[in-house]
Structure 1
Amino acid sequence: MTLLNTTEIMALIPNRYPIIYIDTVESLVPGEEVVAIKNVTINEQFMRGYRPDSPQMPNTLMIEALAQTASILILKSPEFFGKTAYLGAAKNVLFHQTVRPGDQIVFTVKLTKKKENMGVVQTNATVNGQMVCEAELTFVVAPRDDLLGKK
């Protein structure tokens, strides 16, 4: 069951085409966990330039998709309401297999630590129940203007 569609996701995070990598949010428990979906197609902009003889989703974009999913969780958590999340670090990143056109990626993000201005999440991405990527991501959370030098 779809909880948030692409339009609703774009209302939460600033990403737009061609750099939005989440199609739907399937479940969300604010302050705890979010599950999102990405349907990978051959028509993705990145498929033309990244290994054109062997189309696949670049690993860096997999981390970006996990970060976008994590942003939704953080921004829907009550203690971070009305703020913006910025990726600060990626640790313990592992890539297990290649994601190809036709794959449906399930992103699962769990909030493991939270402080006044930061959050740490444990993430994973699976295709057909098989782990393709996992990482620990750290976010800085602040009013948007504070991080842009405006007060």
Structure 2
Amino acid sequence: MVDKVIELEAKKVVAIKNVTANEEFFNGHFPEYPVMPGVLIVEALAQTSGIAMMQAEGNEGKIGLFAGIDGCRFKRQVIPGDQLRLEAEILRLRGSIAKAHVRATVDGELVCEADIMFALTDVVK
């Protein structure tokens, strides 16, 4: 869901998702009124958070499993042609638990904001 990372710092990542009219999810959401599903906005923010978490020392080879979300609010619809700016800042990273504050905006206007929690685990093959 992330097209490009445009900023990468120790605890903060900013990424872009270009929302195009040919996205598969628009076929059913909604055929006459295409709106990006909120859960996919949250997924894009979670993926952005994952990029930020993997920057931390000792997290190489780990993945973040979605563990919870607090205070999630949607303020604006996302439609074809919008460019989502995805921001994730790691608030806490202790042991196997991480928490990030995330925001999605379009043209500076808030789309979604939340705190997302992750459980970090080693990749098992």
For normalisation by structure 1, the TM-score amounts to: 0.80
Structure 2 portions without partners, runs of 5+? none
Amino acid at match of 1:123: V
Amino acid at match of 1:33: K
Name 2:4's counterpart in structure 1: 24
> When you count strand as a share of all residues, which structure comes out higher?
2
Amino acid at match of 1:132: V
Moved over 2 A (4+): none
> When you count helix as a share of all residues, which structure comes out higher?
1
Work out which structure has the larger RCO, using CA pairs closer than 8 Å and 6 or more positions apart in sequence: 2
Deviations 1:71-130 (A, max 9, x none): 111112213222111111011000001000000000000000111101100000000000
Moved more, 81-90 or 39-48: 81-90
**Percent of residue pairs identical:** 36
- 2: distance between equivalents of 1:49 and 1:131? 25
Instruction: Give 1:47-86 correspondences, 5 Å limit.
Output: 47-86=26-65
- 2: distance between equivalents of 1:100 and 1:82? 35
- Pick one of 109, 112, 117 that aligns with 1:130: 109
- 1: distance between equivalents of 2:113 and 2:89? 12
- 2: distance between equivalents of 1:34 and 1:89? 20
